[in-house]
Amino acid sequence: MTGTARTRAAAADPGAVTLREMRWWDIEPVMALEEELFPEDAWSRGMFWSELAGARHPAATRTYVVAEDGTGRLVGYGGLAAVSGTGDVQTIGVTGGHQGTGLGARLLSELLRKATAFECHEVLLEVRVDNTRAQRLYERFGFEPIGFRRGYYQPGNVDALVMRLSTADAPAAVPGTAVSPLTPDGSPQGPLQGNDHD
Ligand SMILES: CC(C)(COP(=O)(O)OP(=O)(O)OC[C@H]1O[C@@H](n2cnc3c(N)ncnc32)[C@H](O)[C@@H]1OP(=O)(O)O)[C@@H](O)C(=O)NCCC(=O)NCCS
């Protein structure tokens, strides 16, 4: 569909949600969603500026997408980092009124398409250990738990579950040094904190 046709379709159906690339002028509405969805550890404007600075150039390592309803209101967003063949879902969020409509799945599909375009052989993400809804979404896409990062989410000191999707037959490789293996009883081990939402 062309951009004009998509705009007409959206105008005809105010409930229709379309995805498009996130640009700098989306930072303010995305910040409003960010504060709604991550009240304890919201990213700052500066973090979004920094992420977008890594997009849209020949050596880009970042790509961000937003979901817009038929009235032009932003209702979701997501971002991917891709470095040396490894993708990392940096963040993903859907406003309360649109959750459970399949939008999270659409955003994740789009990020995985981008990971393919970046020639990633695996995609990683971190998710709060208590965020079972997001974990179910990732499991539906084939992500598997590979370890924990203790105290990853600050200031609440909440552990992250690290999940991995292999997009090729590559052996599971954990970048960096701080992912602890799953223990038999599933309890987390190991240090590291960070600020990805995913
Ligand atoms: C996690 C999150 C992105 C998922 O987005 P979402 O739009 O709700 O995701 P989906 O609608 O694709 O799937 C969620 C559920 O809705 C169900 N669903 C999807 N389409 C549906 C539809 N048309 N009707 C009814 N249910 C539907 C799915 O089966 C799924 O069910 P499950 O949770 O029991 O497995 C969203 O809940 C969110 O933004 N949460 C707060 C921020 C957050 O935690 N982000 C992730 C950080 S790691």
Q: Structural domain boundaries of the chain?
A: 3-126
Structure tokens at 106: 């659409």
* Pair 77, 67: CB distance under 8 Å: yes
DSSP 24: G
Ligand 1 atom with the shortest distance to the CA of 78: 3
Atom of ligand 1 at shortest range from CA of 94: 39
Q: Rounded CA gap, 78 and 108, in Å? A: 8
* Per-residue tokens: 24: 């700098």
Is residue 126 within 6 Å of ligand 1 at its C-beta?
Answer: no
Is pTM beyond 0.95? Reply is no
Is 76:197 a contact under the CB 8 Å cutoff? no
- Given a contact cutoff of 8 angstroms between Cβ atoms, the answer to whether 40 and 153 are in contact is yes
Residues 76, 103 contacting (CB under 8 angstroms): yes
3-state secondary structure of 87: strand
Chunked in runs of 10, what are the mean pLDDT values of the chain (198 residues)?
49 78 98 96 96 96 97 97 98 97 98 97 97 98 98 93 84 41 41 57
The response to whether residue 109 sits with its C-beta less than 6 Å from ligand 1 reads no
Residue 153 to residue 157: CA distance in whole angstroms: 5
User: Which single residue is written with the structure tokens 């992420």?
Assistant: 51
Question: Is 130 touching ligand 1 by the criterion CB < 6 Å?
Answer: no
The pLDDT, as a whole number, for residue 13 is: 67
* Nearest-CA residue for atom 9 of ligand 1: 104
The reply to whether ligand 1 has any atom less than 6 angstroms from the CB of 102 is yes
Architecture of domain 3-126: 3-Layer(aba) Sandwich (3.40)
